[in-house]
Amino acid sequence: MRKMSPVSMLCFLLFQLLFPSLAQSDGDITVGSYLTAINDNSSWLSPSGEFAFGFRPLPANRNDGGEVFLLSIWYSKIPSRTIVWFANGDRPAPEYSKVTLTSNLGLVLSDPRGERLWMSENIFGTVTHATINDTGNFLILGSNLETLWASFDDPDDTLLPSQTLEKSKSLSSRQSEGNFSRGKFQLRMLDSGDLTLNTINLPSSYANEPYYSTGTARDSNTSSPGKEVVFDDSGSSYVLRENGDKVYLSQVKVPSASEFYHRITLSFDGVLTQYVHPKNSDSNGSWISLWSEPENICTAVPVSRGSGICGYNSICSLGDNNRPKCGCPDKYILLDPNDEYGSCRPNFTLSCEEDEKKLKQGSMEDLYTFVELEHAGWPTSEYALLEPFSEDECRNSCLHDCMCAAAGFRDGNSCWKKKLPLSNGRVDPNLNGKFLIKVPKRDLSLTNASQFPIPKGKIKDHDHRIFILVGSTLFGTSVFFNFLLIGAIIWGFFFVHRKKLKKISTKENVVESNLRYFTYRELFQATDGFKEEIGRGSFGIVYKGVMSNNAAIAVKKLASVMSQEEEFRTEVNVIGQTHHKNLVRLLGFCDEGQERLLVYEFLSNGTLSSLLFSGESKPSWIQRCHIALGIARGLLYLHEECTTQIIHCDIKPQNILLDDYHNGRISDFGLAKLLKMNQSHTQTNIRGTRGYVAPEWFRNLPITVKVDVYSYGVLLLEIICCRSCLGSEASREGEGEILTDWAYDCFMNGRLEALVEGDTEGLSNRTKLKNLVMIAFWCIQEDPSLRPTMKKVTQMLEGAVKVQVPPCPFPLNSSISSFLHPNCTGLK
């Protein structure tokens, strides 16, 4: 992020001093008040000063090295400043971001450029003020003192005394102690009345089987299921049944709430713990654990899906305070060296193809051995049970099976053969027998360096070993032979280096950005053989995949029309240099042989088409307006802010994906015709989708960025009406007509309510609705010169430019237009 000049910094600090009410409050917080993300920033305090609301700095290794901040609530009177609630864990705020209390949206967090990072959701009514009380609950209030939003109703990983957790509510862990992004553990109060702990398969929200349960669900033996979790003022916690009975989460004696702070937190490693801390502000004591669940998280019932408590191929053992410790077996290393609780990978290649090559060097007995573990194992991932079998037979079977990565020998006669990745690894004293992990007899990392690239500028470990080997050889031979050997080595390095440079020129230097190069085999395995298709279009088919670190990806396998090397290089170069919050991010690529693939981030909330036309309840008006503005900003970036101008040519709801916050993200933009900044138009074949295609495609007119403006106008009408321009057989008024025609007739006849049928939220601000409709009609003008640029569209959406009444969008078809659109007659 660009640094502020000394003068700007001085002005900013003077402004804070002159208007302290905007940054500090120990009572009511008025509409318009705000806080700014800077070091030592003041905060909004509860009346007693027990809790503070504001920005907390996070480690500076994120956001390109700049300092970032977390909008949060914390204990302000103890040295640890323990955070109990946070808003933007997945999107840390850059320095000088602001959180503002607004009258219509409540709290709004924006970065220094005005981009919205987070806001309080589901605000119905007009905000008059806000407050943070001495229980740690931040409240946004309306004119009749009704609560419009409360932080207690939107919990993260912590419960505080007087807070409840109702059915369908949950706590989510953070990713690590210092990373506040969503983690893989949940505490959920199910609709059945049961309180459970479970893992989820990130980045989705799919919940695996619980590893802890209170057993308070409705079943044949009980007529009164759990109603909610209560953490009362005294510090006691229990599941309250519908008949008023209480099922306490622990029988431990709870110290006085008048002398101790209490909190219940779901830690990043999946353990639910109640902590206490002395209230004496002079005390330097730490939080004390009262109780935790489960007692042994490692040996809790394993789940059939997901990695388990630790990552894949990792093994869990119990540490202090019932907290898990994770580790990699011998010959395995962490996939992410900074995540000790993450997945492990073998530092050698284990595959049938590699085994075939290695057999030329010797027998399987010469190549592999086993690491033995007792009272430990990975209870899932088996693909074969051999029984009855001896231990020697089990070893031999796994040794000669190229798919076998490990085997569990149990009960003296059972052999469970397992494949990678191994999941739910654990140390368990109750496990008998042995667990055998197949590993190479010698270090094979030299043959695997290309599989796990090392960043540029670092000496590879195997290069270091080569120099040691050369040195020991030189010092042990004659001078003459040394000269010959040195000459051979120099020639060899020159030859290898030339080959490497040639390879890099055709692979790595295809892109000028920091994209990862994937092998076809990696993507084949990640997509399970391109099994799950999630979308297709004229440029290719998209498949869902999962990488070895459990991260989901979307893999676009390009059709033959896009497989020419020059076109592919251009596409990857341009996409790799784009970066905007409203564009789907490209992670990497593959151009192996005739295969051309692009690897994108996977967005779990699907397409805008599914959101708008699913047949269920309409998304909120505010959400739709937010999505429309985001798409406009993304198009503005493609048209005017990229180093290479991009015309998308196929803007439609199916090409708009939604991230975790339902921000609209444009996809497929790299597959369109690309223009240099000094070009104004291009002549090309028709591209796009029926209903969204601009008229100039059919009239042999120059194709400019205005074709995207036209498509955006159609899309904006769809967002307003929650109705597809392609029509349907539904019986609603106007469904049989073309959307643009019907919408314009409704507008000219003063029937805006028909466009947002039944949407009281949309009708509550009729001026806003009218402006959006007029912007859409400006965009779909048949004459491209009348259409605004996306920059002006964005300004109109933001309210920075007044929206004028548009002319009839259809004047060019005058003979037809006067019949279909009597309202267009005489309009210029």
What residues are designated binding site for ATP?
557
- 772/625 Cα distance (integer angstroms): 9
The verdict on whether 650 is a catalytic residue reads yes
Read off the amino acid at residue 728. Answer: S
Three-state DSSP class for 425?
strand
- 571/347 Cα distance (integer angstroms): 34
SS3 content of the chain, % helix, strand, coil (to 5): 25, 25, 45
Query: Exposed, middle or buried, 498 (CB in 10 Å: 0-12/13-18/19+)?
Result: exposed
**Chain Cα centroid distance, residue 175:** 12
**Chain Cα centroid distance, residue 12:** 34
Integer-rounded Cα radius of gyration of the chain: 31
Give one word for 322, left, alpha or beta, with left for phi > 0 and alpha for psi -120 to 50: left
Place of tokens 């151009």: 591
How many alpha carbons fall within 13 Å on the CB side of residue 650?
17
- 788/561 Cα distance (integer angstroms): 33
Place of tokens 């090559």: 357
Three-state DSSP class for 254?
coil
CB 124 within 8 A of CB 177: no
DSSP secondary structure, 531-549, as one string: T-EEEEETTEEEEEEE-TT
CB 490 within 8 A of CB 552: no
Of 724, 723, 776, give the one whose Cα is nearest residue 747: 776
**Chain Cα centroid distance, residue 126:** 32
Each as own residue / partner, the long-range contacts of residues 701-706 (CB below 8 Å, 24 or more positions apart, any chain) are 701/784, 703/647, 703/649, 703/673, 704/647, 704/680, 704/784, 705/639, 705/645, 705/647, 705/789, 705/790, 706/784, 706/787
Residue 71: phi and psi, rounded to 5, are: -75, 120
CB 647 within 8 A of CB 692: no
- 486/575 Cα distance (integer angstroms): 45
Active-site option among 269, 650, 708, 745: 650
CA–CA distance from 553 to each of 203, 220, 588, 599, 672 (Å)?
10, 43, 10, 7, 22
CB 293 within 8 A of CB 323: no
The three-point CA angle 495-498-499 to 5° equals 90
| β-bridge mates for residue 693, sequence order | none
Of 790, 812, 810, 809, give the one whose Cα is nearest residue 801: 790
CB 70 within 8 A of CB 140: no
Element spanning 491, H or E = helix 479-506
The three-point CA angle 663-667-668 to 5° equals 170
Residue 675: phi and psi, rounded to 5, are: -120, 145
DSSP secondary structure, 345-385, as one string: EESS--SHHHHHHHTTTS-HHHHEEEEEEESEE--S-EEEE
The DSSP bridge pattern shows strands 138-142 and 147-150 to be: antiparallel
The three-point CA angle 100-265-146 to 5° equals 40
Residue 608: phi and psi, rounded to 5, are: -65, -30
Active centre residues (catalytic): 650
